[in-house]
Each structure stands twice: as C-alpha cells, then as structure tokens.
Amino acid sequence: MRIALILAAAAWLATAPAALAQSPAGAFFDALGKLCGQSFAGQVAAGNETDAAFREAELIMHVASCSETEIRIPFHVGEDHSRTWVITRLGDDRLRLKHDHRHTDGTEDELSQYGGDSLEAGSAGRQSFPVDAYSIALFTRTDRTVSNTNVWSLELSDEAFTYELARPGRLFRVAFDLTQPLSTPAGL
C-alpha cells in the first residue's frame, strides 16, 4: 500500500508541472513569452475622439524582456517611448498587468504602476485585469476617478495581440499584427 501511494505521488509530481502550465493564465503567459525579442506594428481598433494621437502615430509593441515570472512590453506611440506593459505571473493560475510610465530621463511618472490582477481563469487567448486597490487610490489622488472602474484585457492569437481598456462609456483597443514582425529599431 505504501509503495502504491509513493508511486502515485511520483506519477502526479511528474505530470503536475505540465498540467499547471496548461492553466489559462499559464498558457497565455507561455505563448506571450514566445514572442520575446520581437516587435510588431499596431493600430487603434476601437476608440473615440480622445484617441487622435494614437490614431495618427506609429504604434509599436516590443516584447523586450522575458523571464519565468515577468514579461516587459514597451508600447511606443510615435516618438513617445514612456509606456511599458509589465505582465507578471502570480503562481500558476493568475497574472498581473501593470503600466510602467517613465519620463525621458528614466524617472518614474506620477501616474505609473497602475493595473490589476486577473481574478478569473480567463482563457489561453484572453486575460482580464480589473483595477486594483493601489490603482484606485492613485487615480483618486490624481483626479482621475473616471478610471476607478477600468478593466484591462490582453488577447493573444497566432495572428494578433490586442490591448484593451474598458469601463462604462469607454472602450479603447489597439491590435498588433503578429504575422509580420518588424525589425526592432535601435534604441527600442
């Protein structure tokens, strides 16, 4: 009996990492990590009149650095290189999305590190991040309370990566074409 339990435990341990990697969050994170080092052009797929600067600028995402727990994706809007999406793996079944905003000298902007954690399983192709308490406090302190109901989502398929910001009365989406990687310009 004892040997049977040991063998069963060993068999479970041998398959557990593969099973855990197949959680929706794990599968999403792993697939995104396969894009590491590549850059892609995007365009506004949904928005409103306040998004004119995004519609007029060249939009590039650069999957710049990847580790087992963190993926950093600078999002370039024309000559504005201040934004980086930071996706962090929280265990095997959850992810965190933060927005790291920097000034040209590298110092952190006052409006930075906002985002949230995935609260539901999502899917291997879509993860959503409702605004977290830190972000609500930041938005309240900086007179941006309209953002206190934000939900960010990331979508990933073989053809596209999509960043989405949604809240009542607001939907903003940028879709990046993964079928045509760009040569990453020097300095990005």
Structure tokens at 92: 């095997």
List of residues 6+ apart from 65 with CB closer than 8 A:
36, 71, 72
Ramachandran sector of residue 113 (left: φ over 0; alpha: ψ -120 to 50; beta: rest): left
Rounded to the nearest integer, the mean pLDDT of the chain is 89
Output the pTM of the full model. Answer: 0.86
For residue 171, the cross-strand partners are: 166
* Tens digit of each residue's pLDDT (9 = 90 or more) over 10-28: 454 454 454 444 799 999 9
Q: Say which DSSP state 41 is in.
A: E
Yes or no: is domain 22-177 CATH 2.40.128?
Answer: yes
Q: What percent of the chain has pLDDT over 90?
A: 79
Structure tokens at 114: 């906002």
Question: What is residue 10's predicted lDDT score, i.e. its pLDDT?
Answer: 47
In the predicted structure, residue 156 carries a pLDDT above the cut 60:
yes
Where along the chain do its domains lie? 22-177
What is the sign, positive or negative, of the torsion defined by CA atoms of 144, 148, 149, 150? positive
